[in-house]
Chain A
Amino acid sequence: MEIYRAHVLVCKGTGCTASGSENVMDAFQKEIDKRGLSKEVRVVQTGCLGLCELGPNVLIYPEGSYYCRVKAEDIPEIVEEHLVKGRIVERLLYKEHLTEERLRALTDIDFYKKQKRIALRNCGLINPEVIEEYIANDGYKALAKALTQMTPQEVIDEVKKSGLRGRGGGGFPTGNKWQFAANAKGDIKYVVCNADEGDPGAFMDRSVLEGDPHSVLEAMEIAGYAIGASEGYIYVRAEYPIAVKRLEIAINQAREHGLLGKNILGTGFNFDIFLRLGSGAFVCGEETALLASIEGRRGEPRPRPPFPANEGLWGKPTIINNVETYANIPEIILKGADWFASIGTEKSKGTKVFAVGGKINNTGLVEIPMGTTLREVIYEIGGGIPNGKKFKAVQTGGPSGGCIPAALLDMPIEYDTLVQAGSMMGSGGMIVMDEDNCMVDIAKFFLTFTQDESCGKCPPCRIGTKRMLEILERITNGEGKEGDIELLENLAKSIKASALCGLGQTAPNPVLSTIRYFRDEYEAHIKEKRCPAGACKALIHYEVVADKCRGCGLCVKVCPTGAISGERKQPHVIDQDKCIKCNSCFDRCPFGAITKA
């Protein structure tokens, strides 16, 4: 094996691929070949580094220099300066938002300082398409340990003791789930991985699959050993082509190395894993719907009990965990339940990965110990709210979650605290909202999503969410009526109690939590026909403040509908009939002469 003096790691996750990391990687390889450095410097593709906002991201070791927004044109310079002359190219280095100070090493920056990477331990470190790199970083060591030094029950006990809870939604204790499946009678059992991540803006699982597919395979094998299964299925969204490709490569490599198949590591344990592609129905992330879809039926939930642990795939005992849950397993087996349980809080152990987005500087992927406060995530890791705007709320738990107001920013992130706050952990979406976001509009956004993605099986979800959405549309259109809030609350309560599956039961959460914390905004819409955030188009109009207008004509140029007119150097006027409330003039006016109200 060659020893290289430097490794150039290029992120090939979905985010960076979209911003052009493919070209960046090609350019590096070409430049390095051209300069005859190919024996000294190795170019490696990796999974997500987290700061997707700044992609394409490049890491150069041994220095650990973190370059962002790297373009193919920058490569000759980086190679010449950094790799030949040893001078770091400062202009491309990650710029710390807080201090404007240029930092060099990845681990030095605030974005990473507070993070603890367990599920993401290999993301951005190894080449996900090379099994040896996974093995090199203790890959498949946990499997070996489980198979040779532990009984299946000991594996389950370890997982139980670790306190690991499901990272996909409700937070059910993983070890208990495994225990139920292990106790269930049956010769044939299955292990299923839920990789049908569908919350808007969430990409935790995608990043794990893209950056570290083997950790999921290894965990599923450990689960198979624990419950007595010999087959596993990964249900992954077809919309994740890179993840699918990496999984295919990983499965093939594991098979070729005898790490999947018969008599694994000479222990007599047999296990194989198969991929099933989902095609875009959000509801297929619900476990019983997912199983139906794997079986080739319409992806719709069915009532539980029976739970999958007793009657799952093809009626056989089955465990279903999501990607992130599995990604924790090898570390738990390897480092022990006590180590894992020492991280986090009393009832929420370990770490949680969040996809942070919305009105925040560092959008991207973060993994934090449970118990970290929302404030730490948003301000220290996330770099705060852009453009000096004021924080209003943070939405967690995706369409099943709720909005948490500024008053609760110091709340530690835990399963139970989030539920108490009217939200939930969910799979890890975290959307930050500032003063420009209308909370009624936000509730409408999430309800539009759940309403669209309802499977249509039970009336509370199929019709109930539609009716709630209609009421919200009425309110945001300025047609809200006295009693609408109570109507929403009543309907929400009933849907929560009576919907068939978890998706329906949680669908009203965004509405209930915004009513709980931002009732005044609802009331302003209904009673005063006013949107305090200025976001609901039907409730705002734009006007020129004559005193401030200098008649420069910039607004006239940007107005797409020709709604603004006026003599040069004279105050302009907006024709309200033509105005489509696109906000362009408001953004463009250098004098603040346009108001919206």
Chain B
Amino acid sequence: MAVIKSIEELEKIREQAKDLINLRKDNETKTRVVVGMATCGIAAGARQTMLAILDELKKRNVENVIVTETGCIGLCKFEPLVDVIKPDQPKVTYVNVNEEKARQIVVKHIINNQIIDDWVIPNI
């Protein structure tokens, strides 16, 4: 283990360590990403989708996002389904989210606040 020799180093460790407990704190103020993970979703590749989201969040060092899963909402043909719920904003549901789409959702919607209209669930 490294010796912390200064206040700056302590702060650095704190920054790195934040993610350790981030998930357990102030979740109501965070963006929620909900991946449909029922049998249908998993069959359609929802697990890879979710792992891609997690990976992208980590790569880009994004905080205040929680990734969670949900069961079948009955729209099996659109699976994998991903909801993005920003605090104080309506839920946005993306359909047929593969790994590549997932990464873009992270970059565009979650980080840059641009909803990718093309992938949003059609009004059915």
Interface residues on B, range: 35 or more
Instruction: Please give, as numbers and ranges, the residues of chain A lying within 8 Å of B38 by CB-CB distance.
Output: 85
* Contacting pair A40 B50 (CB below 8 A): yes
Contact with A along B18-50 (1 / 0, CB 8 A): 111111110100101010011000000000001
In this assembly, does A98 line the interface, its C-beta being within 8 Å of a C-beta of chain B?
no
Of A135-143, A152-160, A314-322, A455-463, the one touching chain B: A135-143
Residue of A nearest to B15 (CB): A136
* Contacting pair B3 A257 (CB below 8 A): yes
In this assembly, does A2 line the interface, its C-beta being within 8 Å of a C-beta of chain B?
yes
Contact with A along B75-102 (1 / 0, CB 8 A): 0000000000000000000000000000
- B49-71 at interface with A (beta carbon < 8 Å): 50-51, 54, 57-58, 66-71
Given A133-B17, A265-B5, A7:B23 Cβ within 8 A: yes
* Contacting pair B68 A5 (CB below 8 A): yes
* Contacting pair B17 A265 (CB below 8 A): no
In this assembly, does A259 line the interface, its C-beta being within 8 Å of a C-beta of chain B?
yes
Given A62-B68, A135-B13, A86:B21 Cβ within 8 A: no
Q: A1-B17, A148-B7 are in contact. List 8 more A-B contacts (CB 8 A).
A: A1-B16, A5-B50, A39-B51, A59-B24, A62-B67, A86-B37, A136-B20, A141-B10
Instruction: Please give, as numbers and ranges, the residues of chain B lying within 8 Å of A258 by CB-CB distance.
Output: 3-5
* Contacting pair A256 B20 (CB below 8 A): no
Instruction: Please give, as numbers and ranges, the residues of chain B lying within 8 Å of A86 by CB-CB distance.
Output: 34, 37, 68-71
Instruction: Please give, as numbers and ranges, the residues of chain B lying within 8 Å of A148 by CB-CB distance.
Output: 7
The interface of chain B, by Cβ under 8 A from chain A, is 1-7, 10, 13-14, 16-25, 27, 30, 32, 34, 37-38, 50-51, 54, 57-58, 66-71
A257→B14 CA distance, assembly (Å):
13
* Contacting pair A266 B68 (CB below 8 A): no
Residue of B nearest to A252 (CB): B1
* Contacting pair B24 A61 (CB below 8 A): yes
Residue of B nearest to A254 (CB): B4
* Contacting pair B50 A140 (CB below 8 A): no
Instruction: Please give, as numbers and ranges, the residues of chain A lying within 8 Å of B7 by CB-CB distance.
Output: 144, 148, 265-266
In this assembly, does A452 line the interface, its C-beta being within 8 Å of a C-beta of chain B?
no
Residue in B32, B58, B71 whose CB lies within 8 Å of A62? B32
A37 to chain B, nearest CB (A): 9
In this assembly, does A594 line the interface, its C-beta being within 8 Å of a C-beta of chain B?
no
Given A5-B50, A6-B68, A259-B4, A84:B57 Cβ within 8 A: no
Instruction: Please give, as numbers and ranges, the residues of chain A lying within 8 Å of B6 by CB-CB distance.
Output: 265-266
A126→B66 CA distance, assembly (Å):
18
The 7 A-B pairs at the shortest CB distance, nearest first, are namely A136-B17, A258-B3, A62-B66, A86-B70, A132-B17, A86-B69, A5-B67
Instruction: Please give, as numbers and ranges, the residues of chain A lying within 8 Å of B30 by CB-CB distance.
Output: 62
Residue of A nearest to B16 (CB): A1
Given A5-B69, A126-B21, A136-B20, A256:B3 Cβ within 8 A: yes
Residue of A nearest to B69 (CB): A86
In this assembly, does A9 line the interface, its C-beta being within 8 Å of a C-beta of chain B?
yes
A139→B18 CA distance, assembly (Å):
11
In this assembly, does A409 line the interface, its C-beta being within 8 Å of a C-beta of chain B?
no
Instruction: Please give, as numbers and ranges, the residues of chain A lying within 8 Å of B2 by CB-CB distance.
Output: 257
- A40-65 at interface with B (beta carbon < 8 Å): 40, 59, 61-64
Instruction: Please give, as numbers and ranges, the residues of chain B lying within 8 Å of A6 by CB-CB distance.
Output: 23, 68
In this assembly, does A125 line the interface, its C-beta being within 8 Å of a C-beta of chain B?
yes
Instruction: Please give, as numbers and ranges, the residues of chain A lying within 8 Å of B67 by CB-CB distance.
Output: 5, 62
Tell which of A135, A258, A259 has the most Cβ of chain B within 10 Å. A135
Instruction: Please give, as numbers and ranges, the residues of chain A lying within 8 Å of B13 by CB-CB distance.
Output: 132, 135
A174→B86 CA distance, assembly (Å):
45
* Contacting pair B68 A140 (CB below 8 A): no
Given A40-B50, A130-B20, A125:B14 Cβ within 8 A: no
Instruction: Please give, as numbers and ranges, the residues of chain A lying within 8 Å of B71 by CB-CB distance.
Output: 85-87
Residue in B4, B5, B16, B27 whose CB lies within 8 Å of A61? B27
In this assembly, does A339 line the interface, its C-beta being within 8 Å of a C-beta of chain B?
no
A573 to chain B, nearest CB (A): 62
A176→B21 CA distance, assembly (Å):
36
Instruction: Please give, as numbers and ranges, the residues of chain A lying within 8 Å of B24 by CB-CB distance.
Output: 7, 9, 59, 61-62, 64, 125
Residue in B3, B10, B20, B58 whose CB lies within 8 Å of A133? B20
Residue of A nearest to B65 (CB): A3
Instruction: Please give, as numbers and ranges, the residues of chain B lying within 8 Å of A477 by CB-CB distance.
Output: none
Instruction: Please give, as numbers and ranges, the residues of chain A lying within 8 Å of B58 by CB-CB distance.
Output: 1-3
A-B contact pairs, 8 of them (CB 8 A): A5-B50, A62-B24, A62-B66, A62-B67, A84-B69, A86-B37, A135-B10, A139-B14
In this assembly, does A172 line the interface, its C-beta being within 8 Å of a C-beta of chain B?
no
* Contacting pair B18 A140 (CB below 8 A): no
- A502-561 at interface with B (beta carbon < 8 Å): none
* Contacting pair B23 A136 (CB below 8 A): no
In this assembly, does A253 line the interface, its C-beta being within 8 Å of a C-beta of chain B?
yes
* Contacting pair A3 B57 (CB below 8 A): yes
A567 to chain B, nearest CB (A): 62
A440→B115 CA distance, assembly (Å):
71
* Contacting pair A137 B10 (CB below 8 A): no
Residue of B nearest to A62 (CB): B66
A300→B26 CA distance, assembly (Å):
48
Residue in B4, B5, B19 whose CB lies within 8 Å of A1? B19
Residue in A1, A9, A64, A266 whose CB lies within 8 Å of B20? A1
B35 to chain A, nearest CB (A): 8
Instruction: Please give, as numbers and ranges, the residues of chain A lying within 8 Å of B4 by CB-CB distance.
Output: 257-259, 265
Instruction: Please give, as numbers and ranges, the residues of chain B lying within 8 Å of A3 by CB-CB distance.
Output: 19, 54, 57-58
A125→B16 CA distance, assembly (Å):
17
Tell which of A1, A6, A136 has the most Cβ of chain B within 10 Å. A136
Residue of B nearest to A84 (CB): B37
A137→B3 CA distance, assembly (Å):
19
Residue of B nearest to A36 (CB): B47
Contact with B along A111-135 (1 / 0, CB 8 A): 0000000000000011000101101
In this assembly, does A274 line the interface, its C-beta being within 8 Å of a C-beta of chain B?
no
In this assembly, does A4 line the interface, its C-beta being within 8 Å of a C-beta of chain B?
yes
A132→B13 CA distance, assembly (Å):
7
